[in-house]
Amino acid sequence: MKDGYVLKSKSSSSVSSEELGLINNLTRRNFSSEEIYVFSVVLCDNDIDRENERFTDSALEKLEKLFVGKTGILDHNPTSENQTARIFMCRVENISGKKNSLGHQYKRLLAKAYMPRSTKNEDIILEIDSGIKKEVSVGCSVGSTSCSICGNNIKSNFCSHVKGKKYKKDGSYEICHAVLDNPLDAYEWSFVAVPAQREAGVIKSYEISLKGGEEKVEDVIKTLSKGKSVSFSESQATELFNIIAKLKAKAEIGKVYQEELKSEVIKLSAMVQPEMNLNLMKSISEKLSIEELKLLKDSFKSKLAKTFPVKPQFTPEKTEIEKNQNSQFKI
């Protein structure tokens, strides 16, 4: 679950001295308990969510530290106007007697957030207390997204499994899901309208690096193709731009090579099958991939070698006398 909910609490209006101390560590001036509104929120857990993804226990423990001080916004829209609250306390909580869908101890990331009591926040506080604003979704990045079946990067060519499908593992069937581990950063958490954003969850961010960067760029493209948002830092955006520029340069080289292959295939076709219409061959070659053009070129070359065997240029023709020489000794 990468989307969570505000916990119902009878003591949401009271602030302990310990909590007030943690809150005032984040404020520019000290606030009194009467000036502050506090509420508890479950950010995420270690169960398989609606997108068939799951945080590991160690990931929750890292997120416990990363989310402290992070701001709460509306609909993942990172503007100052949408800032509503801030987390001042966060901890991983074991729910006694409850198991996740894998049969393991259920754990969740519980946070406490605050906002100042003000005229501007009166409506939001009322909506939280009345259960209108209840659902939340977290925004973070993770360094590892592995397949629960084979353990490989679920988005790489080394994994052939499909999220949501069942596969046999250790003698029993298990739903394939992405295991999210090694959180790199926590950006924010947001109040969301679940019916409007059914798949709201982790806003994926990618640590782009030139080593293996192509694969991660593919991950970005896949995410964007699903209509999901992707967050980048300024340095990541610059590096992504550099990767795209290099890919464009490679694409140009590939385009030139493909044109050379087309020209060679057309020439070989004219030699091997002169009856083939030249325009028709040109039209066919336009629709072929580089691999298909290479196969056709090799095939034509093979046929050409059989039709016109290669012979050294300066090899002399054998004369009739040479051919008949010593024939009297042949049986």
Interval 158-194: pLDDT, tens: 899 999 999 988 888 999 999 999 999 998 888 876 5
Name the CA radius of gyration of the chain, rounded.
33
Is 324 a member of any domain? no
Is 238 a member of any domain? no
Which pLDDT value is given to residue 98?
Answer: 92
Residues 32 and 141 in one domain: yes
Residues 265 and 171 in one domain: no
Going by C-alpha positions, the residue among 14, 29, 13, 26 that lies closest to residue 90 is 26
Going by C-alpha positions, the residue among 184, 189, 182 that lies closest to residue 233 is 184
pLDDT mean across residues, the chain: 80
Is 322 a member of any domain? no
Residues 165 and 19 in one domain: yes
Which pLDDT value is given to residue 258?
Answer: 87
Question: What is this structure's pTM?
Answer: 0.57
Alpha carbon of 112 to those of 2, 216, 229: distances in Å? 17, 34, 26
Q: Side chain identity at 36, as an amino acid letter?
A: I
* pLDDT-flagged residues of the chain (< 50): 11-12, 195-215
Number of domains observed in the structure of the chain = 2
Residues 161 and 68 in one domain: yes
Residues 198 and 270 in one domain: no
Which pLDDT value is given to residue 63?
Answer: 95
Residues 29 and 155 in one domain: yes
Residue at a domain's end among 232, 265, 286: 232
Q: Which domain holds residue 189?
A: 3-232
Q: Please check whether residue 240 is in contact with residue 207, taking contact to mean a CB–CB distance below 8 angstroms.
A: no
Please state, in angstroms and rounded to a whole number, the distance separating the CA atoms of residues 109 and 87: 12
Residues 135 and 268 in one domain: no
Is 296 a member of any domain? yes
Residues 77 and 166 in one domain: yes
Residues 216 and 115 in one domain: yes
Is 194 a member of any domain? yes
Residues 46 and 193 in one domain: yes
Is 327 a member of any domain? no
